[in-house]
Structure 1
């Protein structure tokens, strides 16, 4: 065995290139059974970032169900979700129904018809968007978002599968409306009722929602409805019918998202807790169509709960007994089921994320399609160590990835530079994963700490609510506590600490750099730089998010100005890298541009990279390569090492 070369951290060569991140990485999810096949969605960075629907070909290699240039992606809430479904028609083979990104129309593709092209099911040019598509008889049930001039409306609708609504919008039946936001429409088994989730501004779905149930008339529209659970301070999620008279639902009324059963037979249904535990059996509803449990039968649920990492289990509805399913994954979500087989999405720090099939009888997990084509040898992949920093009264949960490369060792006494990864949301979380973006750095001798700062999900409502009114304070303090803890533990060079994050994580990057002197530099991917104009310019779904994170306007106007990193550039003394998609509707380019202008005015070293055709989250291979190599070059220039084989990023100032 060859002795490792001695070389400074950050200068190690690695088989994990930016090109390999872009070419071999293709996030996979949303599996469905289509006849005897499994179909899934797959992001294709080498095809302009489109989302294709794919299946296994005759040789086992994936082939497109949905060919180029079609792109199965919806813009409802801008984050989308549930952009496609399989219609299992009784008189023929499975049919793909999908929302196309470019025009946001819903289409039908008769996959097994030679030469067939997608045909529209919804009209063009009326500002309609559709999400959470679900097949039901001769219709598709969906959440519709309609943009008309300056107005915006949402309702739950039924789209005929025969294409008659493509030229006549009146053929789309509005089942129920009356709320700013709606999600999770579920028709009862006999088709006489519908359950759904609703909420209003300024709540976000993790703050407070309502479970509503309505009776359907002969015309398929809701005659009347009642609220069965939820409030402005109770988040209820994912209703599922047990039978015609009872519903399962998730609620965080105890401070944890746990599972409940509601009996609709009584005048005032009481929610019966099925299993009470200090774990979250739900999560943040960023994308429509997200589910956290599956109904195996009327007495059995397949569940996923989390406290930092996920645990799959079978729940006995009658006894409340929870029986763990041991799977080699730290993150897991369940999809479609057929008999004893269920589709599973997830992975771990040593098992690549992707789509797999679980045999519930044998426990065997079979790969269907992984999110990366080629993984390097395990020796180049870091392990994830769960570490808690901060104090007993104020814990900060993290996953630490130390440098790992079998070909290199650092000079004696040298400590590695570290990059703090700050997730977006901020109501979201990070989990241990085979993350090529992390391995790209760790295999070059740069450590990574992935931080679940206060406000993150997966640790109960109290931990989540730590960020209420404190955005720009708690997230910053927790991130600083984590990296200082690393340095104090002798794991990181305290003089070579960087921070990077996207979206709300980009806000924490900029706020941390302007409020502390801990970091040598930071990289903000489409980050929020100020709040007053952001609240005016961002999209509807998040337009009142800041009410809970900072405070409502106009009462909190002074806080908006005080917290904004843009207004605190005088406290900044280190270089900043800004990366931005020019088509971003969630965090518009103006946010990065204003911060760039402030850096220029102060004469601080910086770089601003703007990408045409990219929106919120980079999807194109060329962008991923450019941004990744620029970030590595940036860290090297600031923290005193020379990376191998990457272009030198030009810094201004």
Structure 2
């Protein structure tokens, strides 16, 4: 690629990262203000503004990034997490410490009366709910948890009375694919009752506004459905369509949400490459709107209702739209609340194409194909094949400057929702059990072979991915060494058994749920087969590895030992470390640096063949 063209692509990357990403929106109890997280001065801070518009006010200014926030019931304060501390910022000034030096805090939630703040803490080794006083002297030690030890709470919700919480967790030690919803008292008497998940994965329990039952999602029928669950466990499906799954990722911002008046439920439904916002009447499952509520096809998240149930607030993004916060009225047009779009950026080459591929064992697969301008039978192009993270996830149409720049530089970009991906039902998810680094890698290879038969392909390939996708990059390079011209591994595993022992507990439980324990005699061979570290001699393609030094999910040791083995085998590779990052890149300057390093490496070792 000519120098001028290369510099133009680098300028595109720089522009695409020029604006901070607004995320984690929270509407005030009176519906007049909205708070969210946005990078200010190199770290995420809480900012607020009126929902109707006006100036944005920065509410916090901490050295450590803010990771979560929650409005007080009176709308006068915001609780937020930063580092190992829980703090309260008051809108009229003042900042109070609630607790400090508390390990592994997440999901602060005020009690309905505003006197207590619940939070999930990992201080005792498991994710447990603890209740903290919202006023008084700051604590240096956490009180006893209201949920049992040995169980990791995934998400939870206060009962409107404040007397109970419902929480989600894996409670069946023999089957990690059964996820239960449990109701516990907040008085500390340890009484509890399981109301869902005895025979399925039940997720995202949210109380009805009057406290009469829960809204949740479960996969009892093989696909995730939105359900109403009574306080004694009676289940009723609200959305019974056996089609693309309701999005049920365990993330607090991606679960079904009942409206404040108790008549409607909003949820996210997968569609190829994205998810759409759906609304149903709780009583009969009828769609009261009859149209798409989201502003454009893409990746929507963080649903919440206005207090009068007239509109939703959500974040939306796609390959053409950077992540922004939107107001989505039920009866009128959507309105953008934030605007993070770069001022000058060319339109993307084209919308992605949904492709259907058949794996070698007959399993049908879906993927997304991004084609550069001019790609055709007379102007063929190389292809970068992507494996998404997770693995229990799927590729979603998102604002990704790296993907954008790769396509602008003249490459096709093919993403494969390999076996184990979400959105295609329980059987498809379970098809990855005992198949890490094997069946999923074959799906990526089969995707590349499908692409090689297309008229626009020049039959040259690279493989790229982050987290689990980075791991798949390494696996693909040893599974079909001659197929690939370049590989990009972003913070991926290399030795699965060692990663199981060194990584954090949530990641370990995820591996165990799908692969068993590496010390089980029947599982040890599967763990070895799933570990590319033992076959580095097979790798032929130049390899770039990027990793954060603070990563606890995939520890830096994974890249260190891979680099050592590649050095022993005299394989061409480069390693880029980010000292101030964990699992992925939070700081925009690091995102930009990682994208530039990746693009330069691809251009050097898999040069494009057409002007795009």
Alignment TM-score, normalising by the size of structure 1: 0.84
CA RMSD of aligned residues (A): 3.0
Per the alignment, in what secondary structure is the counterpart of residue 441 of structure 2? Answer: helix
User: Bigger shift: 152-161 or 172-181?
Assistant: 172-181
Q: CA deviation at 1:60?
A: 4.0
1:133 corresponds in structure 2 to: 109
CA contact (8 A) 1:202 1:547 kept: no
Deviation at residue 400 of structure 1 after TM alignment: 0.9
Is the Cα contact below 8 Å between 1:349 and 1:432 reproduced in 2? Answer: yes
Which of the numbers 248, 273, 292 marks the counterpart of 2:237?
273
Among 581, 586, 589, the alignment partner of 1:622 is: 589
Aligned position for 2:514 = 549
**Aligned residue number for residue 44 of structure 2:** 51
Query: 1:182: how far off?
Result: 1.3
- Distance of aligned partners of 1:201 and 1:69 in 2 relative to their CA distance in 1, 3 Å threshold: farther
2:172 and 2:499 map into 1 onto residues whose CA distance is: 16
Q: Residues of 2 paired with 1:625 and 1:231: CA distance?
A: 45
Equivalent residues of 1:10, 1:636 under 8 A apart: no
Indicate the structure whose relative CO is greater, using CA pairs within 8 Å and at least 6 residues apart: 1
Residues 228-307 of structure 1 mapped to structure 2, 5 A cutoff: 228-231=195-198, 233-241=200-208, 243-264=210-231, 269-278=233-242, 279-285=244-250, 287-288=251-252, 290-307=254-271
Write the distance in 1 (CA, Å) between the matches of 2:115 and 2:610: 56
Match in the other structure for 1:79: none
Using a 3 Å threshold, how does the CA distance of structure 1 residues 54 and 564 change in structure 2: closer, same or farther? same
1:196-235 matched pairs, under 5 angstroms: 196-200=167-171, 207-216=177-186, 220-231=187-198, 233-235=200-202
Q: Distance in 1 between matches of 2:556 and 2:58?
A: 34
1:323-472 to structure 2, matched below 5 A, reads 323=288, 324-326=290-292, 327=294, 328-333=296-301, 334-339=303-308, 340-362=310-332, 364-374=333-343, 376-378=345-347, 380-390=348-358, 393-404=362-373, 413-472=378-437
Cross-structure match for 1:579: 546
The 1:132/1:179 distance shift into structure 2, 3 A limit, reads: farther
Answer with 588-597 or 634-643: which moved more. Answer: 634-643
CA contact (8 A) 1:203 1:232 kept: no
Equivalent residues in 2 for 1:2-41 (5 A)?
A: 13-14=8-9, 16-33=11-28, 36-41=32-37
Cα distance change, pair 425–292 in 1 and its aligned pair in 2 (3 A): same
Identify unmatched segments of 5+ residues in structure 2.
none
- 2-structure distance, mates of 1:293, 1:491: 44
Among 55, 59, 65, which residue is 1:65 paired with? 59
Structure 1 residue 201: Cα displacement:
7.6
CA distance in 1: counterparts of 2:96 and 2:241, whole angstroms = 48
Cα pair distance change 1:442/1:628, threshold 3 Å: same
1:144 maps to what in 2? Answer: 120
Q: 1:41 to 1:18 in 2, by over 3 A?
A: same
Q: Deviation per CA, 1:192-244, whole angstroms, max 9, x where unpaired? A: 33322222486897x2211112345xxx2245221111137534332323533
The separation in 2 between residues aligned to 1:98 and 1:429, in whole angstroms, is 30
Cα distance per residue 1:507-538 (max 9 Å; x no partner): 10000011013221110011101112111100
Change (3 A) 1:194 1:640: closer
CA apart distance, 1:412: 8.2
Measure, in 1, the Cα distance between the counterparts of 2:148 and 2:340.
37
Task: Mark the CA change 1:213 to 1:289 in structure 2 (over 3 Å): closer, same or farther.
Answer: same
SS at the partner of 2:127? strand
C-alpha offsets along residues 323-373 of structure 1, whole Å, 9 cap, x if unaligned?
A: 4441323322312423213211113344333110111222x1111124544
Unaligned runs of 5+ in 1: 1-5, 74-82, 645-653
Query: Residue 159 of structure 2 corresponds to which residue in structure 1?
Result: 188
Give the conservation status (yes or no) of the 8 Å contact 1:311–1:325.
no
Q: Does 1:111 align with 2:78?
A: no
TM-score by length of 2: 0.90
Q: 1:479 aligns with which of 432, 439, 444?
A: 444
Deviation at 1:179, TM superposition (A): 4.5
After superposition, the C-alpha distances for 1:449-489 in whole angstroms (9 at most, x for unaligned) are 12221111112112211111111112211111222212212
Q: CA deviation at 1:289?
A: 5.2
